[in-house]
Every structure is written in C-alpha cells, then in structure tokens.
C-alpha cells in the first residue's frame, strides 16, 4: 500500500522537475554562473586590496598616534599657559585702569584697534 502512495508522488515530482528544467535555458544558467564567478573574483580582489589598506592604515596610525598624543598634550598645556597669562594681563590692566583711568581708550576705540576673531565663541 505504501508503494502505491509513493509511486504517484514520485512521478509527480519527476514531472515537476522536468517542467522546471524546460523553463530555464541551460545557456542562461551558464551565463549567470560565469557572471557570478566574475563578480566573485572581483569581490575577492577588492577584499584583498581593502585588507592591505587596513593593515597599512593601522601601521600608519600606530606610527602617528604617539606624536599626535604628545602634540595634543603640548597644545593643552600651551592653552592653559596662555589662559593664565591673559588672566594676569586682565588683572594688571584692571589695576592700571583703577590707578590711571585715562591709560586706555574707551571701548569703541578698543574695538577699532582689535580686529582679531574671538576664538572662544567658536566652541
């Protein structure tokens, strides 16, 4: 009885398989396989180039990172030193203005003389 059920299923399966095979031309399949192999080769080449570039970039970063950190620390130290110097200058200017009120021109003249951009506003 089981063979009687399996035989129609097997014949139907074979018939569907042959119908599917006639739907697609073998030349089209070969063309698709060839295109896929070509794309695979290009992707493998691109992957190799990108891996090499990543290795190169990692080495360059390792070479530069120590100098970059050192220079960053230097710039931060310089900024704090300059902030301290300008704080002292403002304090000295305040004392001079308190002692000699006419020592510095009024604010409009200061603005005309000092045309530098305000770097603190850029933050």
DSSP readout, 61-91?
Answer: HHHHHHHHHHHHHHHHHHHHHHHHHHHHHHH
Q: What is the structure's pLDDT at 100?
A: 84
Question: Splitting the chain (123 residues) into consecutive groups of 10 residues, what average pLDDT does each group show?
Answer: 74 85 82 96 97 96 92 95 92 87 66 61 54
pTM of the shown model: 0.46
Phi-psi region of 118 (alpha: psi -120 to 50; beta: other; left: phi over 0): beta
96, 103 contact by CB (below 8 A):
yes
Dihedral pair phi/psi, residue 91, rounded to 5°: -65, -45
């Amino acid at each position: 009885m089981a063979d009687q059920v399996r035989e129609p299923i097997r014949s139907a399966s074979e018939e569907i398989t042959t119908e599917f095979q006639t739907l697609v031309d073998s030349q089209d399949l070969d063309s698709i396989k060839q295109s896929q192999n070509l794309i695979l080769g290009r992707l493998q080449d691109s992957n190799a180039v990108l891996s090499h570039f990543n290795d190169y970039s990692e080495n360059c970063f390792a070479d530069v990172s120590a100098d970059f950190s050192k220079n960053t620390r230097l710039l931060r130290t310089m900024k704090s030193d300059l902030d301290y110097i300008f704080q002292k200058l403002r304090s000295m200017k305040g004392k001079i203005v308190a002692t000699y009120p006419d020592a510095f021109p009024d604010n409009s003249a200061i603005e005309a003389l000092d045309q530098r951009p305000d770097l603190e506003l850029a933050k």
